Each structure stands twice: as C-alpha cells, then as structure tokens.
C-alpha cells in the first residue's frame, strides 16, 4: 500500500485532487479572516478555555492551561499566525509547493482547533492530509514540487557537500 501511495502516477492524480481540496479549504478560511478585518483569536481562545470545566469538558486541562498562559496573552500573535497560516498553507497546497511541509502545518492547525473543542471539518481534513503526508513527494508530483524539490535538493547538496564539511579548516 505504501509503495502505491508513494510511486503510482494515478494515485498522484488523486492526491493532487485531495491536496487542492485541502488547499481551497484553508485558503477560503484564511482569506475570509484576512479580508474580513474583524478576526480576533482572543474570543475563540476564551471560549476554548471555558470548555475545559464541567463534568464532560470538551477541552483537556493541559491544553486549556497552554491556551490560558501562552496563547491568550499573545492573542495578537496567534491571530496573525492563524490568518496568514491558513492563507499560506492553502496557497502552497493548491500550487503543490512544499507540499509535505504545508500539509504538516495544516495538520498542526487542525489538531489545535480540535484540541480547542471545535469539531467542524477538522477531523476530515486531518484524515485526508494523512494520506497526502504519507505519500511524500508523490503528492506534489503534479505541482510546483516537481520543479522546486530537485532544485532545492541540488542547492542543499552543493551547499553542504561532504568534502566541504570534512575538509580541515586552514588557519
């Protein structure tokens, strides 16, 4: 199954559709927040913290502690990160550029929303993103990764050539 996900061209096409769908979802959500002008994460954070109490809390205590002591005091930063993170992840997934990294960052955001008590489509997006992430480079075959990754690999190889690393430094 792993071989099929990582190397098959037909599967790569299916993964491109999943990738573009996920990208659209992120871009749509982020664009609304960026252009709407009224998005502020502090209300969401306060609501999540409030869901940590009671007989059947929707938010676990450790996450509520993080939200209360780290995220809420830095709500402006988290507002910026959510808005632009969704936009950038969406663009990257639609274009198929740095697909694995964008997928991973999208999953981090979706898990954060789930931990905060919001169900919505986050679980579905995590499930789809898991296939994209496991597929590795095959998920970006029909995207800009096809051109960017060989260039990046060549750049890193030249930059960190083993001969340069093991060569003694002359005084």
Question: How far apart, in Å, do the first and last CA atoms of the chain sit?
Answer: 54
Q: Which residue has the higher pLDDT, 114 or 165?
A: 114
Crossing angle (nearest 10°) for helices 122-135 and 99-115: 150
**40 and 104 in contact (C-beta within 8 Å)?**
no
Percent share of the chain, pLDDT over 90: 72
By CB atoms closer than 10 A (0-12, 13-18, 19+), residue 8 is middle
Distance from C-alpha of 94 to C-alpha of 140, rounded to nearest angstrom: 10
Q: Given this model, what pLDDT does residue 156 score? A: 78
| Predicted confidence band of residue 45 (pLDDT cuts 50, 70, 90) | very high
Q: Given this model, what pLDDT does residue 162 score? A: 59
* Per-residue pLDDT tens over the stretch 105-164: 999 999 999 999 998 899 999 999 999 999 988 888 999 999 988 888 887 787 777 555
Please give the structure tokens belonging to residue 40: 């502020």
Crossing angle (nearest 10°) for helices 75-95 and 99-115: 140
pLDDT of 30 higher than 70: yes
| Predicted confidence band of residue 63 (pLDDT cuts 50, 70, 90) | very high
Query: Residue 27: CA atoms inside 13 Å, Cβ hemisphere, count?
Result: 12
Residue recorded with tokens 């075959």: 141
Domain coordinates in residue numbering, the chain: 2-165
**103 and 133 in contact (C-beta within 8 Å)?**
yes
Q: Given this model, what pLDDT does residue 26 score? A: 97
Please give the structure tokens belonging to residue 4: 């099929």
Q: Output the CA–CA distances (angstroms, integers) from residue 158 to 71, 146, 153, in the order listed.
A: 40, 19, 9
Mean pLDDT, rounded, for 39-59 = 94
Percent share of the chain, pLDDT over 70: 94
Query: Within 96-170, where are the H helices?
Result: 99-115, 122-135, 145-159, 162-166
Mean pLDDT, rounded, for 39-61 = 94
């Amino acid at each position: 199954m792993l071989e099929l996900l990582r190397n098959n061209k037909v599967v790569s096409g299916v993964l491109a559709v999943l990738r573009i769908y996920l990208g659209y979802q992120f871009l749509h959500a982020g664009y609304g927040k960026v252009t709407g002008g009224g998005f502020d994460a502090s209300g969401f954070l306060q609501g999540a913290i409030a869901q940590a109490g009671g007989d059947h809390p929707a938010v676990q205590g450790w996450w509520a502690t993080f939200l209360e002591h780290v995220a809420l005091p830095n709500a402006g930063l988290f507002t910026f990160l959510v808005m632009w993170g969704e936009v950038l992840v969406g663009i990257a997934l639609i274009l198929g550029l740095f697909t694995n990294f964008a997928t991973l960052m999208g999953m981090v955001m979706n898990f954060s929303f789930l931990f905060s008590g919001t169900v919505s489509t986050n679980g579905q997006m995590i499930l789809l993103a898991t296939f994209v992430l496991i597929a590795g480079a095959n998920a970006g075959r029909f995207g800009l990764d096809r051109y960017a990754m060989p260039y990046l690999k060549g750049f890193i190889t030249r930059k960190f050539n083993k001969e340069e690393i093991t060569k003694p430094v002359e005084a």
